[in-house]
Amino acid sequence: MTLLQLINQRVQAALAAAGAPDAPAVIQPASKPEFGDYQANGVMGAAKALKTNPRELAQKVVAALDLQGIADKVEIAGPGFINIHLAPEYLARRSEIALKNAKLGITPVEPQHVMVEYSSPNLAKEMHVGHLRSSIIGDALARVMEFLGHDVVRANHVGDWGTQFGMLTAYLVETSQDGKADIELSDLESFYRNAKVRFDESEEFADRARDYVVRLQGGDEEVLKLWAQFVDISLKHCEAVYQKLNVGLKREHVRGESSYNDDLPVIVEELRAAGLLSESEGAEVVFLEEFRTQDDEPMGVIIRKKDGGFLYTTTDLGAVRYRHKVLNLDRVIYVVDARQSQHFAQMFSICRKAGFAPESMLLEHIGFGVMMGDDGKPFKTRSGGTVKLIELLDEAEERAYALVSEKNPDLPEAEKREIAAAVGIGAVKYADLSKNRMSDYIFNWDTMLAFEGNTAPYLQYAYTRVQSVFRKAENVDANAPIVITEPAEKQLAAALSQFEDTLLSVADGCYPHYLSNYLYQIATLFSRFYEACPILKSEGEVRASRLQLAALTGKTLRTGLDLLGIKVLETM
């Protein structure tokens, strides 16, 4: 059981004994050290419901509270808060267990079959900064859930089936390049640009492009061959980006829009059979009562256009159906820009009505805000163009390289490069993952690369500090008992004991910043401990115990950063 669960259970039992069995205990880590380690805030609510005096109820709860061996002091504060001070011996035992266990002592969860769908770029163009957030947030969530013991399926729902492929094909045929054997990504980029120009300037070209889409979707071999080539080149590029980003998406996780092509007519039939489909101006539409237009009419979601074409939503319905029928998932998480929230809300609603997903299969749109430039507008190049993701990442490494070279000019070149990659990419990822995903944020190189504050370099540096203790220490006893006497030791150990609760809260609401903030807290508490409690200069049991606390700190930082997809280094 996690620490929070344990305390909650005990306080809950005491509330029941005091006559308030239904009141929630409301346990939180204490907001200030003088309030102990945890506070139970549920008594006031319970007293209100029972129409009794909160302080008296608190006294009864405390009298019934069994925290023997766990807490050494329990006090009532203010109108009826209960402050719980954990016993140092108890924290020491928990820390020892965490240190010996490969997973830091976490209890495996009841495994759920969870899909994390993320990144999902539209192919035929290079990935741009707009793909950053989904890729890194999704990857962190997948890692955390996997670590907790869930059965995680990663999915990259790439856009590989739209108009862009018709355009490309039409352009290649028009310029007699459709036989070209070795198309490269740079070709694809310029083809795409040229094709777009042609598409916009010529009605006739646009018709041909649309016709190619129809042929593609109808299974025309020639068009399919070209398409497969475009897709392959684009995916190779995505894979290079994922590799650089340390994002765990591989080819086997790709299941693009195209793979649901054959299901689309079936979706239409099933929606019709369920009585959900209406005709509106030649298109087939599902009207949703719970979504209203500006004129307060039920909103229509187009499933099949007048010309027979299917839409983004239709494909998503096909994907949900597949994820239930074939994969039998318990939970599907869509890590997609918050601007698509209406799409997902409507799509989920249709799924429930049509029975594509049973109520037991959770469908969650995990949205996120916009990454902005210093000017407070969506991040763009100086000339207002979209920034290619690979270029942004290269710049991150270059900037980190310059910093490292300045701080440590004598390091061998290869080592500087390695540090630059870990710090540069780590900084970009952490700047994102340390903020509530729903808020917009300003992308700023100087803040994210700073060695002070809540940044990746600060945490990576904190980790190297821990490691340097072990490089200097001779004779480390990996089995030494932990003995906690100093406040700085206790605060560090108490925070280290919250790792599992932190991960559970990340997985629950899909908020990676809980983990980032937790790691920052650990690094800060370690730094205080390091200043207040000499490690190598102390002796005997004290030294051995402090080394153990340092070891657990290192292990927690490394594991936590790894779950965020951020690399650590032994030296910097």
Where does this chain bind ligand ARG (CB under 6 A)?
A: 117, 120-122, 157, 159, 316, 334, 336
Count Cβ atoms below 10 Å from residue 346 Cβ, excluding itself: 19
Q: Say what the alpha-carbon torsion angle 443, 445, 447, 453 is, to the nearest 10 degrees.
A: 110
Beta carbon nearer to ligand ARG, 354 or 496 = 354
Residue 159 beta carbon to ligand ARG: minimum distance, rounded to whole angstroms: 4
> Cα separation of 443 and 428, whole Å?
8
Residue 87 beta carbon to ligand ARG: minimum distance, rounded to whole angstroms: 49
Say whether 280 sits in a helix, a strand or coil.
strand
- Where in 373-464 does DSSP place strands (E)? 441-442
Beta carbon nearer to ligand ARG, 95 or 120 = 120
Beta carbon nearer to ligand ARG, 86 or 336 = 336
Beta carbon nearer to ligand ARG, 120 or 229 = 120
Residue 336 beta carbon to ligand ARG: minimum distance, rounded to whole angstroms: 4
> Cα separation of 211 and 195, whole Å?
15
Q: Which two tokens stand for residue 475?
A: 């004779």
Beta carbon nearer to ligand ARG, 99 or 213 = 213
Q: Which two tokens stand for residue 142?
A: 């997948």
| Nearest one of 173, 168, 166, 202 to 187, comparing CA atoms | 168
> Cα separation of 437 and 434, whole Å?
8
Q: Which helix (H) or strand (E) holds 523?
A: helix 513-532
Residue 315 beta carbon to ligand ARG: minimum distance, rounded to whole angstroms: 8
Residue matched to tokens 């930082």? 557
Residue 486 beta carbon to ligand ARG: minimum distance, rounded to whole angstroms: 51
> Cα separation of 426 and 247, whole Å?
11
Residue 227 beta carbon to ligand ARG: minimum distance, rounded to whole angstroms: 16
Beta carbon nearer to ligand ARG, 207 or 232 = 232
Beta carbon nearer to ligand ARG, 71 or 238 = 238
Residue 375 beta carbon to ligand ARG: minimum distance, rounded to whole angstroms: 24
What strands, in cross-sheet order, belong to the sheet with 151-155? Answer: 151-155, 113-117, 331-335, 362-366
Beta carbon nearer to ligand ARG, 122 or 194 = 122
Residue 154 beta carbon to ligand ARG: minimum distance, rounded to whole angstroms: 13
Residue 257 beta carbon to ligand ARG: minimum distance, rounded to whole angstroms: 8
Measured CA distances, 324 to 58, 155, 256, 272, 351 (Å):
48, 14, 17, 20, 11
Return the amino acid letter for 341: S
60 Cβ neighbours under 8 A, 6+ residues apart: 17, 18, 19
Return the amino acid letter for 361: M
> Cα separation of 51 and 256, whole Å?
58
> Cα separation of 13 and 15, whole Å?
5
Beta carbon nearer to ligand ARG, 300 or 367 = 367
Residue 319 beta carbon to ligand ARG: minimum distance, rounded to whole angstroms: 6
Beta carbon nearer to ligand ARG, 157 or 567 = 157
Q: Which two tokens stand for residue 245?
A: 């980003």
